[in-house]
């Protein structure tokens, strides 16, 4: 089968380790099944894997990709939940399983014509969603959904700041927050991306570090060092900053005096559960909301998508079709 594989780790030039070509069909352990992939979406996780983050050289070659929508062995249209974990070991939450992983970390990923997954990882794809739209959900959109509605515990009428509006999680968070009735403020260095954020439903779109019209109830933080101080300063007393990434660096000044004096909460968040993915799909059907897709490419042109992500030349999701 045709697949996109990491064959080399290079922290400085990650695309040198990207190999496109034939790979063996997936092995199927007990309790697993296969999905014929109709669409799969690119994430920063895939680029970081080529840099060796979460994917050591001794696991190469590894088929990349976390997200997929396709058809299972029974002919049903499904969305693949990317977290491979045991809810029992995580107290009912597979993302808290100490041994959990994502597809493409220990097990071959979704950038292929077929992928093997645990049977419990299949979520029915609503007929209202295209395969490309459904493929955008399991990582970026699910992460944003969990950050907003679980970790930040926001209610309609709340206010939220989304840093770095062009990224997959950030653009999903803007759209989801707007659909849920939040007041949404977004930041980006790029004027075109600020304009796109407004189209997605942001009430204001500002340059990073700009003063907001109000102190917000929560901040969705995926950028890290470059925006951390602004995120803390933008919160109301008792507000929450929810962190799921640090693309600009992971060691910002903590500003602990601000954290304790204003009783701010700093909350980590990673992916989401299978049940949350199912609820996210239903939310999109009910509201008519759909993922913002930057471009759709055949899997054979995956290198173009990786290069665009590495350059920051995207808004929303890049989708590959085998």
Q: Given pLDDT bands bounded at 50, 70 and 90, which one contains residue 246? A: confident
Q: Quick one: average pLDDT of 273-290?
A: 98
pLDDT of residue 315: 85
Residue 314 has pLDDT above 90, yes or no: no
Q: Would you list the domain boundaries of the chain?
A: 2-136+291-321, 141-268
> Percent of the chain, pLDDT > 70?
100
pLDDT tens string 84-107: 999 999 999 999 999 999 999 999
Q: Please report which residue ranges of the chain form alpha helices under DSSP H.
A: 44-50, 131-135, 142-146, 168-179, 191-200, 225-233, 256-261, 274-287, 302-311
Strand 159-162, strand 216-221: pairing = parallel
* pTM for the model: 0.95
pLDDT tens string 253-278: 999 999 999 999 999 999 999 999 99
Q: Tokens 């999905």 appear where? A: 35
Q: Tell me, which fold does domain 2-136+291-321 have in CATH? A: Quinone Oxidoreductase; Chain A, domain 1 (3.90.180)
Q: Tell me, which fold does domain 141-268 have in CATH? A: Rossmann fold (3.40.50)
Contact 67, 94 (CB under 8 A): no
Q: Quick one: average pLDDT of 115-123?
A: 98
Angle at 81 between CA 75 and CA 83, to 5 degrees: 140
pLDDT of residue 288: 97
Residue 145: CB atoms within 10 Å: 24
> Percent of the chain, pLDDT > 90?
95
């Amino acid at each position: 089968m045709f697949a996109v594989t990491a064959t080399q780790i290079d922290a400085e030039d990650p695309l040198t380790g990207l190999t496109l070509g034939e790979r063996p069909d997936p092995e199927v352990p007990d309790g697993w099944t296969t999905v014929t992939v109709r669409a799969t979406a690119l994430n920063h996780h895939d680029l970081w894997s080529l840099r060796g983050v979460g994917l050591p050289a001794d696991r190469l070659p590894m088929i990349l990709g976390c997200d997929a929508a396709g058809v299972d062995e029974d002919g049903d249209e499904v969305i693949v939940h990317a977290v491979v974990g045991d809810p029992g070991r995580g107290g009912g939450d597979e993302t808290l399983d100490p041994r959990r992983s994502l597809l493409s970390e220990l097990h071959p990923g979704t950038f292929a014509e077929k992928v093997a997954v645990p049977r419990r990882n299949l979520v029915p794809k609503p007929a209202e969603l295209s395969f490309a739209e459904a493929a955008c959900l399991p990582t970026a959109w699910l992460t944003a959904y969990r950050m907003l509605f679980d970790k930040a515990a926001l209610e309609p009428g709340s206010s939220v700041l989304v840093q770095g509006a062009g990224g997959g999680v950030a653009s999903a968070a803007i759209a989801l927050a707007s659909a849920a009735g939040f007041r949404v403020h977004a930041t980006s260095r790029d004027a075109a991306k600020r304009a796109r954020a407004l189209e997605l439903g942001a009430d204001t779109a500002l340059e990073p570090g700009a003063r907001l019209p109000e102190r917000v109830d929560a901040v969705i933080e995926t950028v890290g060092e470059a925006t951390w101080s602004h995120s803390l300063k933008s919160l109301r007393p008792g507000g929450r900053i929810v962190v799921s990434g640090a693309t600009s660096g992971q060691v910002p000044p903590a500003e602990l005096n601000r954290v304790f004096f204003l009783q701010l909460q700093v909350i980590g968040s990673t992916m989401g559960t299978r049940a949350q993915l199912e609820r996210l799909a239903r939310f999109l059907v009910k509201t008519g909301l759909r993922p913002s897709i930057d471009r759709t490419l055949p899997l054979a042109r995956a290198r173009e998508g990786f290069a665009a992500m590495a350059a920051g030349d995207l808004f929303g999701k890049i989708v590959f079709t085998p």
